[in-house]
Structure 1
Amino acid sequence: MSPSCPDAPPRHARTCSGHLPRGHRGSRMDTRNKSGYDAGESAKPRKPVVNLYQPQAEGPDRPMTGNGKMELRFDGSVAILAFNDPEVLNAIGHRMREDFSAALDRIEASAARCILLTGNGRAFCAGANLNDPDRPPRDREAEARGEQKSDLEGWYNPTLERLRASAVPVVSAVNGAAAGIGMSFALSADIRIAAQ
């Protein structure tokens, strides 16, 4: 007999109100799995597994570029963006900035699920190229009056913010020197992997 109700049969362990005590699941076979969901008819449908690596054929919407100062290629759903001026340790000049912005536009328009940022040659990025022959002349007086933005305000900061706000994760594979703005690019990534 149950101590809580002398009339109840002991094998069912019901309370005087006729309910099962807390934590007791009853005599029927329990169909719940370990996560607490009922494996019977009321089971929630499972979400499909997403394959992050989906190789896609190259075509007009997924071109390979490698002839500029930035190299962009796709390996499945991963966009590999590489600084491509190893002669100057991938220092960022005017043409590289234009190519970088165009590559980011192309990545954002693609179905890429991740951006891998790296450098070709023995350096990741040695900062800004102070000896850049393609750089337009700088008007410091116009910058002081606020009529013209400096390189930092006009391109570097907005580009770093754009990487930080990316809808997909950014991984920087630091394969060598990362100095100045190159270190800023490495640190702007969600995940940083460095070579010894």
Structure 2
Amino acid sequence: MSDDQNPWQTIRLDIADKVATLTLNRPDRLNALTPALFGEATAAIDAALAAGVRALVLTGEGRAFCSGADLVLEGEDALPDDLGVLLDQHYNPFVRKIAGLDIPVVTAINGPAVGAGLGLALLGDITVAARSAYLLLAFVNIGLVPDAGATWLVAQAVGRARALEMALLGEKMGAEEARAAGLVTRVVEDGETLAQTQAIAARLANGPTIAIGMIRKQVAAALTQRLDETLATERANQSRAGLTADFKEAVAAFAEKRQPLFKGA
């Protein structure tokens, strides 16, 4: 989708080769989050799904991935006295939407991911960070608590002690340290982040989409399930996966000694 076709003010959507790239597009504010941005991002994802995309890339324009909530808005977008209302109406629905997608999500962390922006960055099934990027749970520095799922996402990745250190001290964590801690998947050279992320997304988009969608939710569920519950989830998902055309194609390709051609069905 070219710039003159882009109907949004705070985001940009580009679709190519079954991959949708959703770019937070407020570079003058380091892509700080607003209610309008969440609304436009949600609409863009719906449009991408309607167009048949099979993978989603989330990134930021300019030198930041996302600096978190915009704290200096006025008018309808001004912060309410009760920030819980803001989370109820905008932040949490968007996080749930990303988590509930049936297509894979890959994040291109092109620069700082701060506060709620850190939460969005870690929503990716695979996370690719620029070498100069950093993560920052900045909430404590302004007297707030982590939101946008950051508490769960960080604690699940690094454990209680490290999560508390990050949340209580509010210090920057560089890309390499974040990779070593299990918060990001890959670190690449600056300027290569988006291209490498889109290459990963393209590979996923050409994979068995139904199985991939179930895998992302199955792993998330396993983090809070007992073994017996996970076994039941695996059983239910495997029954569905075994009935897909992609599985039949994989079996045929194996017998014919060729690469399978998955169609996402």
TM-score (norm 1): 0.60
Is the Cα contact below 8 Å between 1:66 and 1:72 reproduced in 2?
no
Structure of greater Rg? 1
1:156 offset after TM fit, Å?
Answer: 0.7
- From the two aligned structures, give the one with the greater helix fraction: 2
Q: Percent identity?
A: 34
Q: 1:113 aligns with which of 54, 57, 66?
A: 54
Which residue does 2:129 correspond to in 1? 194
Deviation (angstroms), 1:137: 5.2
RMSD: 2.4
Q: Which aligned pairs between 1:31-180 and structure 2 lie closer than 5 A?
A: 64-65=5-6, 68-136=9-77, 140=81, 150-180=85-115
Q: CA deviation at 1:80?
A: 0.5
- Aligned partner of 1:172: which letter? T
1:134/1:178 Cα in 2 relative to 1: closer, same or farther (>3 Å)?
Answer: farther
SS, match of residue 154 in structure 1: helix
Q: 1:190 to 1:99 in 2, by over 3 A?
A: same
Tell me the residue number matched to 1:185.
Answer: 120
Unaligned runs of 5+ in 1: 1-57
In the TM superposition, structure 1's runs of 4+ consecutive aligned residues that sit over 6 Å from their partners are: none
Residue aligned with 2:128, SS:
strand
Deviation (angstroms), 1:173: 0.3
- The unaligned stretches of length 5 or more in structure 2 are 132-265
Tell me how far 1:81 sits from its aligned partner. 0.3
Residue deviations 1:2-32 (CA, integer Å, cap 9, x gap): xxxxxxxxxxxxxxxxxxxxxxxxxxxxxxx
**Deviation for aligned residue 1:96:** 1.4
Q: Distance in 1 between matches of 2:95 and 2:76?
A: 20
Instruction: Provide the secondary structure at the position in 1 that maps to 2:71.
Output: coil
C-alpha spacing 1:106/1:161, structure 2 compared with 1 (3 Å): same
TM-score by length of structure 2 reads 0.45
